[in-house]
């Protein structure tokens, strides 16, 4: 198998490429590894797709070295190619997706990444784009927009930036207008909500366990809509939501609408934005579909 480390040099505090080169060299000459540093947003998808087209039939493993955005780009490039698997060397700011598999630490052992068995991974499809983790909107999107703006200004996005995003959303985004249908059922007939997460993974926003029951290979989408609430109540339930207890806590069942579905349709006013694995997309009518076993994902044992 050939291994290609796709490195986002701007992820995290330092460029991971130099340290990876040293680690790979120590593995010996028998290990067939390349390192590619991305040049711009979207470059990882183009590179992976072009590489797969240039090496038909070969066993390839692309290891996304960065955060959730880098992993998403690599997966979007690898979809549809036989003999190709994806894994992750999590060195970004959030690293949300790998938390569903035990956390970032187990993915930082390079030798274990090379030896890791691949398993089927479902993906969420929105138009011609795929999400491996979460499509979210409402309160969450305001947070994500703030985080992205700060990242553009400073080049990084730590926990303090996520906190700033939450504060901004508390001011601007407590009652959002959109309608969600899960397998044809309207979840909020009044067309209002605080937020909604459409998930394949479990975590979003660096620490929020939005979909605690999510399985990445069950062929189902986790849909959780939170009805509008006061800022005071938001503060009171934030810990419950962050820890992923909102689906079971009786104190919040009056505001939680939870479903599992295969398709989710969202309709909203013009100018509506949603977040697809951290990328902000402006679209006021879209459908999310589950694609079972769309790609192979390697998880270290």
CA 288, 252, 162, 298 dihedral sign is negative
| pLDDT(232) > 70 | yes
DSSP secondary structure string for all residues of 112-150: HHHHPPEEEEEEEEETTEEESSEEEEEHHHHHHHHHHHH
- Using a cut of 0.85, tell me whether the model's pTM lies above it: yes
User: Would you state the structure tokens that stand for residue 137, as one six-digit string?
Assistant: 């909107």
Burial 69-81 (b: 16+ CB within 10 A, else e): bbbbbbbbbbbeb
CATH architecture of 134-292: Sandwich (2.60)
| pLDDT for the residue numbered 230 | 96
| pLDDT for the residue numbered 157 | 58
Q: What percent of the chain has pLDDT over 90?
A: 76
Least confident of 40-44, 159-163, 215-219: 159-163
Q: What percent of the chain has pLDDT over 70?
A: 98
| pLDDT(257) > 90 | yes
The structural domains of the chain, with segments of one domain joined by +, span 2-116, 134-292
Beta carbons of 46 and 54 less than 8 angstroms apart? no
Cα–Cα distance measured from residue 52 to residue 180, given in angstroms and rounded to the nearest whole number: 37
CATH class of 2-116: alpha beta
CA 238, 240, 246, 250 dihedral sign is negative
Cα–Cα distance measured from residue 195 to residue 199, given in angstroms and rounded to the nearest whole number: 13
Bridge-based pairing of strands 273-276 and 279-282 is: antiparallel
| pLDDT for the residue numbered 147 | 79
């Amino acid at each position: 198998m050939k291994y290609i480390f796709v490195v986002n040099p701007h992820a995290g505090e330092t460029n991971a490429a130099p340290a990876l080169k040293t680690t790979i060299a120590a593995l010996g000459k028998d290990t067939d590894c390349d390192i590619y540093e991305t040049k711009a947003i979207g470059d990882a998808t183009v590179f992976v797709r072009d590489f797969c087209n240039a090496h038909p039939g070969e066993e390839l493993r692309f290891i996304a070295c960065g955060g959730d955005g880098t992993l998403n780009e690599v997966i979007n490039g690898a979809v549809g190619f036989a003999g190709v698997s994806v894994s992750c060397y999590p060195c970004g700011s959030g690293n949300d997706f790998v938390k569903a598999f035990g956390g970032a630490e187990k993915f930082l052992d390079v030798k274990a990444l090379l030896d890791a068995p691949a398993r089927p991974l479902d993906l969420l499809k929105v138009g011609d784009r795929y999400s491996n983790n979460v499509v979210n909107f409402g309160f969450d999107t305001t947070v994500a927009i703030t985080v992205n703006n700060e990242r553009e200004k400073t080049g990084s996005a730590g926990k303090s930036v996520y906190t700033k995003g939450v504060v901004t959303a508390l001011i601007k985004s407590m009652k959002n207008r959109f309608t969600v249908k899960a397998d044809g059922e309207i979840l909020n007939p009044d067309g209002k909500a605080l937020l909604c997460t459409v998930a394949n993974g479990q975590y979003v926003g660096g620490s929020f366990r939005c979909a605690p029951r999510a399985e990445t290979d069950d062929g189902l989408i986790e849909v959780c809509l939170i009805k509008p609430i006061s800022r005071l109540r938001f503060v009171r339930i934030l810990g419950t939501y962050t820890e992923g207890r909102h689906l079971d806590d009786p104190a919040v069942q009056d505001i939680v609408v939870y479903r599992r579905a295969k398709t989710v349709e969202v309709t909203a006013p013009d100018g509506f934005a949603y977040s697809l694995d951290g990328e902000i997309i402006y679209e006021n009518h879209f459908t999310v579909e589950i694609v079972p076993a769309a790609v192979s994902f390697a998880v270290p044992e």
